[in-house]
């Protein structure tokens, strides 16, 4: 298997982390090398020095892009579940990482709020107002129309059809 970055983006609460974790587990079960870069974990490790301002969020996303580049360049599949609200950051990722799939977990704020587990988010969904919709994602998973499981199934099918996994 060659290196590839599967980048899940969307507003907070859209379900991208849940979908990414399911995908990670499915790939691990096949004994394939894969790395999961989840927003909460990378925030605590890679970007522990940053806050949640727009500047800090963009800086965090750029750090994750650069890590994804290094992982992909080492012929390892990685899944990044990052808000990455800025189009510029996602464009940078696309230009830097040769094998890159952008997955847009599209979700209204109403669906995101209703899907949240009590106490899951300690911060309000303030970032969602600053989220730029992706220009041309490779695949859109519409959480307003489909369940998490249906979105996961669509993504899995998409990735298999293109021999990404």
User: Is the confidence at residue 28, as pLDDT, over 90?
Assistant: yes
Reported residue count of the chain is 165
Cα dist from 90 to 65, 117, 133, whole Å: 8, 28, 10
Predicted pLDDT at 119? 46
Higher per-residue confidence, 115 vs 49: 49
Contacts of 136 (CB under 8 A, 6+ apart): none
User: Is the confidence at residue 86, as pLDDT, over 70?
Assistant: yes
Go through the domains of the chain in sequence order and give each one's CATH number. 4-161 (3.40.50.300)
User: Is the confidence at residue 122, as pLDDT, over 50?
Assistant: no
- Mean pLDDT for 132-144 is 92
DSSP string spanning the chain? Answer: ---EEEEEE-STTSSHHHHHHHHHHHHHHTT--EEEEEHHHHHHHTTTT--SSHHHHHHHHHHHHHHHHHHHHTT-EEEEE-----HHHHHHHHHH-SSEEEEEEE--HHHHHHHPPTTS-SS-SGGGGGPPPPSS-SEEEETTTS-HHHHHHHHHHHHHHTT--
Give the Cα separation of 87 and 124 in Å (integer). Answer: 22
Higher per-residue confidence, 150 vs 11: 150
The pLDDT > 90 percentage for the chain reads 67
């Amino acid at each position: 298997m060659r290196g590839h970055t599967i980048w899940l983006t969307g507003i907070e609460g859209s379900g991208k982390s849940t979908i990414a974790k399911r995908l990670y587990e499915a790939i691990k079960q096949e004994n394939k090398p894969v790395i999961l870069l989840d927003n909460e974990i990378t925030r605590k490790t890679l970007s522990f020095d940053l806050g949640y301002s727009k500047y800090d969020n963009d800086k965090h996303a750029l750090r994750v892009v650069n890590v994804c580049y290094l992982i992909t360049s080492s012929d390892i599949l990685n899944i990044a579940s990052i808000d990455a609200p800025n189009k510029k950051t996602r464009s940078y990722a696309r230009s830097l990482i040769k094998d890159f799939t952008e997955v847009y977990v599209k979700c209204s704020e109403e669906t995101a709020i209703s899907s949240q587990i009590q106490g899951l988010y300690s911060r309000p969904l303030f970032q969602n107002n600053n989220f730029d919709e992706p220009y041309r994602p490779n695949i859109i998973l519409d959480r307003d129309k489909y369940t998490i499981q249906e979105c996961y199934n669509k993504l899995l099918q998409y990735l298999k059809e293109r021999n990404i996994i």
